[in-house]
Structure 1
Amino acid sequence: MLTNEFLYQIKPVRENFMNDQTEAEQNALESHFVYLKSLLQDGKLVLAGPCLDASFGIVILQNVTENEAQAIMENDPAILNNIMTGTLYPFRVSLIKN
């Protein structure tokens, strides 16, 4: 199945991550947010955000190849700095509010 949309799920590598972040983790999260904003400006990001209990977050990409999606996920500062792990899935946006 060919798709140009992918979802990656990110999960913190340790419990209570959101409640007791180190300065390095806070910096990595800020870089993660800036990184996602640049993907949005480039037309590659559909949406991104965490669940409210902070157990995981999702990033939905569009207009990318699988290799590009993999590279985007692997270069996410949250993953590069080992504060989150990521798993990539082929995805299809079926409905979206305009």
Structure 2
Amino acid sequence: MSQWIYRIEPTRPGLVGSRTDEESSVLAERAGYLRALKDAGILILAGRTRVEEGAFGVTVFEAPDEASARAVMRTDPAVSAGVMRAELYPYAVAGSGDALDD
């Protein structure tokens, strides 16, 4: 299993400070999606910066290959609804096993 990270950022400036009802609904759905990934043993961590301007988040997870990783990213409700845009990268969590040797 490989580790992956996707960086997400709002597609609409001001989203962090002021959300529409639709955006709030999508982000609540995203929270459930992340909980499901965690329960399935896929999610390592997810979080966001604590700023309004230039805000972004990251999701670190495991997937067997790039195609599977892209599917996880694209299935994120915030990404699929267009509330957030995302970029995927191969990743290695420092402090977990072989990552310290790289």
Structure-1-length-normalised TM-score: 0.90
Q: Paired residues, what number?
A: 94
Query: Where in structure 2 are the equivalents of 1:82-93 lying within 5 Å?
Result: 82-93=82-93
Shift of 1:57: 0.1
Unaligned runs of 5+ in 2: 97-102
Match of 1:18 among 16, 19, 32: 16
User: Quick one: distance in 2 between partners of 1:94 and 1:73?
Assistant: 21
Alignment root-mean-square deviation, CA = 1.3
* Deviation string, structure 1 residues 46-97 (Cα, Å, up to 9, x no partner): 000111115100000124321111001001000111110000000011215x
1:79 is matched with which residue? 79
User: Quick one: distance in 2 between partners of 1:52 and 1:64?
Assistant: 31
Match of 1:39 among 37, 50, 55: 37
Determine which structure has more spread, i.e. the larger CA radius of gyration.
Answer: 2
Contact persistence 1:43–1:63 (CA under 8 A): no
Contact persistence 1:7–1:59 (CA under 8 A): yes
Contact persistence 1:46–1:62 (CA under 8 A): yes
Structure-2-length-normalised TM-score: 0.86
Q: In the alignment, is residue 49 of structure 1 matched against residue 47 of structure 2?
A: yes
Unaligned runs of 5+ in 1: none
Contact persistence 2:3–2:63 (CA under 8 A): yes
Shift of 1:31: 0.5
Q: What fraction of aligned residue pairs are identical, expressed as a percent?
A: 31
Misfit runs of 4+, over 4 Å: none
